[in-house]
Amino acid sequence: MALDRFFRRRRPQQQAGSDMPDLWTQCPACKESVYNRDLEANLWVCPKCNHHIRLEAGRRVEVLLDEGSFVQLSGRVHPTDPLNFQDTEAYSDRLVRAQKKTGRPDAILTGTGSILGLPVTLAVMDFAFSGGSMGSVVGEEISRAAEHAAQIGTPFVLVAASGGARMQESALSLMQMAKTTVALEGLTARGLPYVSILTDPTTGGVTASFATIADVIMAEPGALIGFAGPRVIQQTIRQSLPEGFQRAEFLLEHGMIDDVVDRRNHRNFLAGLLGVLTRRAPDALPTQQSPEQSSEQSAEAPA
């Protein structure tokens, strides 16, 4: 699986949404320093270079849902250490550390809410928790959220951000790929839309299961999306990788995703799309976007 890249070379990038004692953040792409209040107003998209800074799960919910509409579903399911996994550090210790850092039991946040008045069930993976890796809890919470959506009759929206399946739960993590796929069947049976939003990074077993069997697949500009990690591929073929390889724009070009959508346009994109698919009208019509916020433009913006 494609975890290596993230474990080895985790960028010294500040996670948006964590406690921010500083007044400004350095953009990891263009290295410009930007005031946090400007970044926040711009949904953590760099105003200088359009780089989409990784979002902590809670902040992602704020970006997507109508203010005050979120009702959390996840949080009662907690990870265990079924294999008593020990590498240079015990898995149980790694879990405690990630839980303290993020304030969540595991790398997933789910709930219900609305987008421009349209009810949705939402699942957001949290890259800040152990690289968003998928173990039993992530699989279970995503499955429950998808089943909840089918039960109450809302579309299901999932935001992927993950290095892949979690090694420390071995085959149990692998089985979450099949489990989540089973849980998504209820949406198909009830004719409810499932939209996934692939963000930086989405790789390994997450890409090879629930994230890519959505009815509509969106991706954030510049997001790394693939099955094998770039380093693994490079080691196998011993050639340098093509420019833009495995980036959202590359996948759009190869026909693998429906569109690359600027984060500042996600709510309007989803409201327009889900409104048509469910034959409902959003509260407010999507507002006119400025040219640099249209999906076509963002697809051409530098990653």
**Which residues are near other proteins by CB under 8 A?**
1, 3-4, 7-8, 76-80, 82-83, 85-88, 135-137, 139-140, 143, 165-167, 169-179, 181-183, 185, 204-205, 207-213, 226-228, 232-233, 235-239, 241-242, 245-246, 254, 256
Q: How big is the CA angle at 124 (ends 123 and 128), to the nearest 5 degrees?
A: 155
Q: What CA dihedral angle connects 58, 15, 160 and 252, to 10 degrees? A: 130
DSSP string, 206-222: HHTTGGGSSSEEEE-TT
Least CB distance from residue 137 to other proteins, whole Å?
5
The minimum distance between CB 295 and other proteins, in angstroms, equals: 21
List the single partner that 262 binds among other proteins, Zn ion, none, CB under 5 to 8 Å by kind. Answer: none
Return the number of the residue (1 or 303) whose C-beta is nearest other proteins: 1
143 binds, among Zn ion, other proteins, none (CB under 5 to 8 A by kind): other proteins
Distances (CA, A) of 48 to 27, 28, 106, 128: 9, 12, 33, 24
Binding at 169: pick from Zn ion, other proteins, none (beta carbon under 5-8 Å per type): other proteins
Contacted entry of other proteins, Zn ion, none for residue 208, CB cut-off 5 to 8 Å set by kind = other proteins
Residue 164 zone, left/alpha/beta (φ > 0; ψ -120 to 50; rest): left
Quick one: which segment of 7-15, 23-31, 219-227, 229-237 binds Zn ion (CB under 5 A)?
23-31
3-state class (DSSP) for residue 227: coil
* CB-based contact 169:135 (threshold 8 Å): yes
**Per-residue contact flags (x/-) with Zn ion for residues 25 to 64, judged by CB under 5 A:** --x-xx---------------x-xx-x-------------
What is the sign, positive or negative, of the torsion defined by CA atoms of 126, 144, 137, 194?
negative
Query: Which listed option, other proteins, Zn ion, none, makes contact with residue 166 (CB within 5 to 8 Å by class)?
Result: other proteins
Q: In which residue are the tokens 């916020």 written?
A: 293
Q: How far apart are alpha carbons 182 and 284 in whole angstroms?
A: 35
**What's the CA gap between 290 and 302, in Å, rounded?**
18
Shortest CB 34 distance to Zn ion, Å: 7
Structure tokens, 175: 């089985």
**Contact footprint for Zn ion (CB under 5 A):** 27, 29-30, 46, 48-49, 51
